[in-house]
Structure 1
Amino acid sequence: MRLLQSPQSAILCTLITLVLILSCNGADASDKVALQLAWKHQFQFAGYYAALHQGYYRRVGLDVSIVEGGVGKFAKEEVLGGRAQYGVAGAELLLHRKQGAPFVILAPIFQHSPSILLVRKDSGISNIQGLIDKKVMLLPGYKDADILVAFLNEGISSDQYLRLDQSYNIEDLIKQRTDAVSAYVTNEPWQMLQKGVAPLVISPMAYGVDFYSDCLFTSENEIKHHPERVQKFLHASLDGWEYAMDHPQEIIDLLSRQYKVSKTKAHLEYEAREIRKIMMPDLIEIGHMNPGRWQHIKQTYEKLGLIDADFSLDGFLYHPQQKLDYQPLKQIFFGAIGFIALFAVGSGILFLFNRKLAAEVKERKQAQKEIAMQKQRAEQYLQVATVMFVSLDVDGKVNMVNEKACAILQCSKEDIIGQNWFDMFVTKSAQHDAKNAFKNMITGHTSGPEYYENKIIISNGEIKYIAWQTTPVRDAHGKLVGVLCCGDDLSEKRKLQEQLIQSQKMESIGSLAGGIAHEFNNILTIILGNNEMNMRELSESSPARRRARRIEDAGIRGRDVVKQLLTFSRQDSPALQRTDIKSTVQGAMKLIQSSAPANILIKQNISENIFPVFGNGTQINQVIINLCGNAIDAMSEKGGVLTVTLRNEIVEDRFAGPHPSLSPGKYAKLIVEDNGIGMDEKTRERVFEPYYTTKPLGKGTGIGLAVVHGIIKRHKGFIDVHSQLNRGTTFTLFFPAYNAIRPEQKFVINRV
């Protein structure tokens, strides 16, 4: 091989060698920097571990130490004290900036805050309004600022709930020592699920508060003196986060192996899934920062009086172009100018081509970003909607569901997505019609929105009525790819309608029964009166007197039936007064105990200090004897247990809401329970109708429970029945306490 001999060749080789030497020197030089984490090692900081162990920091000449945080060691103090050059913290960095700390945000890693309010799913609390007058455990001061402003946005002041100091112990919520606790969506819900307690998440985002979180930050001093290092650290960290999101299992293994994280693999996988949801790497570029969002965060702090309206964000948000030192680049450029000159013409052509290509790429990225933002906004609207949204593919499988649907179905998104909607949630009786309607839309026989109602079955087996509006979904080429279903829960409305219809029916029957009773009473009076006169004229030994006695007995039984009818129709109105219901129940149970068959065991659970009620002791006694008699009849063949319970009850709004005839307040609660033959649904729906009976001919009139219903209505109380075939029946009665209801006052107007 011949060596290059010309002066030009020698110069060219020298320049190339110089460039390589400068480049190598730059690569070998390693700046030592420290990154202070916000808390202990966990998947929350996955991107920084990836950047370190994949060599991203090393490739840009950085020797990075990742320092674990914890109690007494936080990123704010470490960066401010110069012990760390970079740190991870939340949106509260804005408050520190306002207080004079020279912090600069490089990139928000989490596009949404993981901060949430957590309640027990079985607590009956489903939204932030449900926390009024409840105990809420929060971080000290304004560390839970997004949650505090969510309360304010809903018009709930701090004196409308009892604030407790954060104990960092989820057992306080599990053991119900508090009603709600501030938590991280990535952590505490998992802990509750492992304890067998279903969590329910209340997100501040649903109430107009949307913070960035886990922000990578540095100091003004670092940017001023090491601008190039700041850029290198930022880009290497974001590359690490991109790697971590693509290889979560690898990072989980790294955390367990090298960082000795105590969490289980399943817990770390859960944390990784939840972090992906709030980072949204598939829709938004990792580390994307919108100044408008920071203005929103500043305005949120303004509501709490923590920051002034005229406070400026200037200098708080990082701009890569600020005060960068290009001197090393200039040295390399001038050192290589001779080499570049040899290829000037080709480079010029290549430059023009690349410029055109870059413009096209930029335009395409902008379009993709707009589409992603539109998709994000649409998903946010769906999540805060007050109706349920379910999206199905052409096979009927769920591919999208919003928070309202999860709340109604009482399932998590993970349990719903991927399941066949019709097989999992639609009742068997409604499946045929629902599948046909879906098939017609998928095959194009129905082109526009469709409206229908059907019954669905939720996770706990409860049936709900849903009114649906469905519309076909097509892709960019017009191909039909699924169906979007918008559903409104009509269950409570249906229940109220059924109760209203039943009440109206009972009122109508009562009016009819009252009229018949009066007419029948007049007839009985004539029969009994004339029969009594005939009996006076007949001797004791006369056969006619014995027949007259049977007429008298039948007339008396008829008069008792008339009395029951009048009680049912509320036309027989004995006086109501302050009544000791405890004594009434105990007296009735003595009579029932003495006459009950030997194969019936009677249990009494009667509490002390029962509220006195505003009622009639005789009618309450009649109610108890009637219900207990029916219970004994239901267990007469096989025997069983009759349990009578009496206790005080305070009815709240959330229980009284579905029952229009039951007002909030104090009640004496009577429960009559048996384990007899029970009733089917059809019988249970008609059990209070007069003359409806399942007993054999001659063993029942069918008027007893109708009379019970009438007595309870007159006492302004409430009665409910639950029953299953071969599993028994339970009647629950509420009698208003005496201090809750008073006799109506009558006012006399004197006319002059």
Structure 2
Amino acid sequence: MTAQDVTTALPPPGDFSTVEALVRTLSGQASIGIFLSDPEGRTLYLNERLRRIAGLPVVPTPGECWRNALAPEDHDPICSEWSGATNAERSFSREFRFRRPDGSLRWVMAEAFPLRSGGEPSGGYVGIVRDITPRQLALDALHASEERYRTLAQQSPHAILVHADSAILFINEAGARLFGLATAHPIEGRPLWDFFPKEFLHDLPLAEAAPSPSVERQLVRPDGTVIDVELTAAPVMFDGHPAVQILGTDITERKVIAGQLHRAKKMATVATLAGGIAHEFNNCLTAIMGFSDLALPSLVPDSRVHGHIQQVVLASKRARDLVTQMLMVGRQADGAKQPLSLDILLKETLRVLKMKLPESISLREWIPGATNPVLADPTQIHELCLNLLARSQQAMTISGGVLEVRLDNMGLDASMTGHDLPLPPGQYVRLMISDTGDGIPADIRTPNMYPLFAPPSTGSKAGAGLAELQRIVSEHGGTLRATSTAGQGTTIEVYLPAMLQPPQTVAQEPSRERAAPLTEAKEFLAEHDKER
């Protein structure tokens, strides 16, 4: 690098004509606008670049001034600011717009400085004007884009939160609802930890350079509800500064559905396995029952051996009923409906329940005879009975009590007194399950409790399927009703439409004369197994 002294190239002191020529040449070739004014602010000179920016004539005219080209909206405030600066002999700096003769607007940045020599008063002003229209258009586009972003974000059903330096810059209404934040008080501008626990913020996706992979978090809302959320972060520009946008999605229901699908696949596998085992077991029972029937005629009727073989036959028939149920589960995995004798299914369910009930709970059955068949999915109705019985049993786990089960046919007529069920008139099969537990407190009981039940203890799995049970009954054309008295217990009623003329394929229940000995033998074996 070399340096050269250009002092000798400058005009000698006092050669004002040369200095003026130099200044005019530089001003004429400058890429910015330049103007000169007297101490009162009247324009003395405008260079060619400023004329092009402001749209002024190329040929100077008497009395011309750069202020004549101001946009009407900016004229009064800029002229007032300029007069104040010249009167106080101070600098001037403002952004404003020129309106050209063709109607177009140009944004400019103007700066002017007093001309002083030593300590003397100002001899005028020299000013420069830069065209900042491209920058201003870019800022306007940015602001318009941010406004569109805010509008779309506010209307988005997904939770959107924007933060920078651990402070919340923006959150839409869906985000406030998802995270359970109260909108009565300001949220924007406050730190994240004012609203979210440390466990939730730990390893929160930052996405400062590129979108980050989604993460799942479990959040406890201020009202105590627990939700699962999926968070996805991406870098954005917000108010002209870099920030992080977080998109939150409530995946609680999705995870519940995924769990149900997983359980359904397991049940389908179990159903297939149960079907295979049932067929193999049925083959063994065929041999046991066949040889027992062959042996009975050769034995003395009143002998001990004859009685033992009869017990073998009764136990084999009971095992055959169990095999029938296993085959039914395997066949009904797809939820198909068929004519079903609810009394037979309920008796078998209660027989199994007797063996599991604690001694503090007594079971009372009121199943007087064969009820009308119903068109139903046996697997779903079996699940319904098990769930309702389990809930009633749970209500009496601590204090014990009486579990009462009734099954009967019932006709509903619109003219019946007290008929307020949401069902059309007709014949129904009614299942009633009553317990003597604590019941539903009066402060949470509603006048019409068709889909409501006595709530189990907090966190109990027995209460997880209430909506599912209501759905099952509704899909079968029936309804549920629960009545409860605090301290006395709860009664749950299930109404299912009856089939008055069942098809010929419906299996008829054996006659009561033939079924009586078998029923007595079954109950004897159940009590005998319970005692053992």
Larger radius of gyration, structure 1 or 2?
2
Higher helix share: 1
TM-score range, shorter chain: 0.3 to 0.5
Structure with higher RCO (Cα < 8 A, 6+ apart)? 1
TM-score (norm 1): 0.32
Higher strand share: 2
